[in-house]
Amino acid sequence: MRDGQSALVLFSGGQDSATCLAWALAHYRRVETVGFEYGQRHAVELECRQRLREETRQRFPQWAARLGDDHLLDLRALGQLSETAMTRDMAIDTDAKGLPNTFVPGRNLVFFTYAAALGWRRGIRHLVAGVCETDYSGYPDCRDDTVKAMQVALNLGMDERFVLHTPLMWLDKAATWVLAEQLGGDALVELIVEHSHTCYLGERGQRHDWGYGCGHCPACVLRAEGWRRYRIGQ
């Protein structure tokens, strides 16, 4: 595995991973995507993944030839053992330490491990994930130290040289919109607003200026606030 020209994007269909897909397409000759079915309460994100890929291909001809295969991995055992608001029908809440019950323990660790195993098979050593610890929900597996430790563990455990890229790690949500604009102009911003999905409740009924969602869950609040600050900064 010595391919420095290819990248594998952990692609959920949300704003962050859609921005990471564009980042990878701008930096690598061949880009594949991987998504995970882990028993999410709402399948809407998984539907958005395909639409985002199709729209990206259509609206950005310079990237179309670079966008390769999509992989959807079955990780439903993770949902079966997790008692969280992402995988059970329960109200969103936070615990005494301030950790939301939308946190699925081990999720990103498992995702990175499966992505690396897939990268191994596909000959891809650059893995790209939209995790961020600047303007986030406090998930410990989104932290820079976690990702760096994961990179070390994967490279020791597989005797390889994977590089885990996290282009959004030090960006807040407003700066993530700025990055999208830098990568693909207003067309990419519009594509992400329209076709990416962030809402924890899986709502896509109401269209806000920042996209679709219930407008009240923590993910919608974060996205709406980021969009507001992005528009003010323009």
Binding of residue 131 to Zn ion (CB under 5 A): no
Enumerate the H helices of the chain as residue ranges.
15-27, 44-59, 61-64, 76-81, 107-122, 144-158, 173-195, 218-233
Judged by CB under 5 A, the stretch of 114-122, 155-163, 164-172, 191-199 that binds Zn ion is 191-199
Judged by CB under 5 A, the stretch of 49-57, 113-121, 140-148, 210-218 that binds Zn ion is 210-218
Minimum CB distance to Zn ion smaller for 3 or for 47: 47
Binding of residue 48 to Zn ion (CB under 5 A): no
Binding of residue 199 to Zn ion (CB under 5 A): yes
Measured CA to CA in angstroms, residue 132 lies from 60, 68, 83, 95, 165 at distances of 26, 25, 24, 21, 11
Measured CA to CA in angstroms, residue 118 lies from 75, 147, 156, 193, 225 at distances of 14, 18, 16, 29, 35
Q: What number of other Cβ atoms are within 10 A of residue 73's Cβ?
A: 15
Binding of residue 224 to Zn ion (CB under 5 A): no
In angstroms, rounded to a whole number, what is the distance separating the alpha carbons of residues 228 and 200?
Answer: 20
The half-sphere exposure of 64 on its side-chain side, counting CA atoms within 13 A, is 8
Judged by CB under 5 A, the stretch of 77-85, 134-142, 165-173, 196-204 that binds Zn ion is 196-204
Minimum CB distance to Zn ion smaller for 118 or for 201: 201
In angstroms, rounded to a whole number, what is the distance separating the alpha carbons of residues 168 and 23?
Answer: 10
Binding of residue 118 to Zn ion (CB under 5 A): no
Minimum CB distance to Zn ion smaller for 52 or for 220: 220
Output the smallest distance, CB 81 to Zn ion, in A.
25
Amino acid letter, 72: L
Sign of CA dihedral 14, 18, 21, 23: negative
Q: Which of 217, 223, 224, 227 binds Zn ion (CB under 5 A)?
A: 217
Output the smallest distance, CB 230 to Zn ion, in A.
18
Contacts of 178 (CB under 8 A, 6+ apart): 171, 230, 233
Binding of residue 220 to Zn ion (CB under 5 A): yes
Binding of residue 214 to Zn ion (CB under 5 A): yes
Output the smallest distance, CB 216 to Zn ion, in A.
6
Q: Which of 213, 224, 227, 230 binds Zn ion (CB under 5 A)?
A: 213
Output the smallest distance, CB 171 to Zn ion, in A.
21
Contact set with Zn ion (CB under 5 A): 199, 201, 213-214, 217, 220
